[in-house]
Amino acid sequence: MRTEITFTTTSREEIVDITERVRSVVSAHGNDHELCALYALGATAAIMIQENWDPNIQTDVLSCLRTIAPKGQWLHDRVDGNGDAHIKAGIIGPSEVVPTENGQLLLSTWQNIFFCEFDGPRTERKVIVTLI
């Protein structure tokens, strides 16, 4: 089973919690599946599983990535000014796989699923959800 989650982003860089959207898909369609594969469409976006309790983690992740790949110093910036976004997306990666059981995501208490925007804002971002 495959579907898309579609949403907007509001900042150039932000981390969007998509856990409940993914849970809804798994709850509705996941009883006969054991894995939930997530894939961010777009070369400047990523998917990350991270702590959900302390919002400072999300701020720290963005701060770390800004240190590793600062804006404005990459060859690709000559093309369209978003070389850092491509590097950040490559570091985090476009996909995650989460085990499921009885229509439930098997995330730990402190884990959520986050979409990482590195070149926003965008009126439409998509994550492909595939149940296997």
* Domain boundaries of the chain, sorted by first residue: 2-131
Q: Which two tokens stand for residue 64?
A: 């770390």
Give me the chain's average pLDDT, please.
97
**CA-CA distance, 21 to 13, in Å (whole number)?**
20
Does residue 26 carry a pLDDT above 90? yes
The phi and psi torsions of 62 (rounded to 5 degrees) equal -65, -40
Residues paired with residue 47 on neighbouring β-strands, in sequence order: 115
**CA-CA distance, 14 to 80, in Å (whole number)?**
20
Q: Rounded to 5 degrees, what angle do the CA atoms 5, 35, 116 make?
A: 40
- Model confidence pTM above 0.85: yes
Residues paired with residue 37 on neighbouring β-strands, in sequence order: 97, 130
Per-residue confidence at 30, pLDDT binned at 50, 70, 90?
confident
Domain 2-131: give its CATH code. Answer: 2.60.120.460
Q: Which two tokens stand for residue 129?
A: 């959800």
